[in-house]
Amino acid sequence: MTSPEARLSELGITLPDAPVPVGSYVTFVRSGNLAFTSGHGPSGPDGYMTGKVGADLDVAAGQQAARLTALNLLATLRKELGSLDRVTRVVKVLGMVNCGPEFGQHPAVINGCSDLLVEIFGDRGRHARSAVGMGSLPMNMAVEIELVVEVS
């Protein structure tokens, strides 16, 4: 298996700068061989991707938001660990989708994150996951995602 850092290069992916907290918390905590991220959103150079999936955004746009969020999560992991090669396993993903009560395609949206993790980490990127709907998210962002990873 190609290392995660080499795989990013093969895929032509450049990670953004790691996001900074927007409140009284840290974006990363390590306890033993597990690392936990705070919830990250789909922020990019133009701000956050915002809106309710299923109303303002279609599922494909929600998947793009989840993929962008995954890139931000990976940027935080790289900043804190020094290299994504230190991630030995993606353990758990919690994906929250900003949507109305009638929306039911949460798993399809969060696949935007999950699929990227598998592209980068291979089988080590396969993870347990929850994908849930929320009536609102901070700053009206389309998705918010947390990760738990095992590290060396």
From first to last of its 152 residues, what are the pLDDT tens digits of the chain? 689 999 999 999 999 999 999 899 999 999 999 999 999 999 988 889 999 999 999 999 999 999 999 999 999 999 999 999 999 999 999 999 999 999 999 999 999 999 999 999 999 999 999 999 999 999 999 999 999 999 99
For the chain, list the domains and their CATH numbers. Answer: 32-151 (3.30.1330.40)
Q: Can you name the residues that pair with 132 across neighbouring β-strands?
A: 96
Q: Are strands 128-134 and 87-98 parallel, antiparallel or unpaired?
A: parallel
pLDDT at 22: 86
pTM of the model: 0.97
Burial 36-70 (b: 16+ CB within 10 A, else e): bbbbbbbbeeeebbbbbbbebbebebbbbbbbbbb
Angle at 120 between CA 118 and CA 126, to 5 degrees: 25
Per-residue pLDDT reduced to its tens digit, 48-92: 999 999 999 999 999 999 999 999 999 999 999 999 999 999 999
Tell me how far apart the terminal alpha carbons of the chain are, to the nearest angstrom: 17
CA distance linking residue 6 with residue 103, whole number of Å: 37
Q: How many CA atoms lie within 13 A of 58 on its CB side?
A: 1
116 and 150 in contact (C-beta within 8 Å)? no
Q: Cα 108 vs. chain centroid, distance in angstroms?
A: 14
- Alpha helices in the chain, H assignment, sequence order: 4-11, 59-81, 106-121
At 63, the amino acid letter reads Q
Comparing CA positions, the residue from 40, 16, 14 lying closest to residue 27 is 40
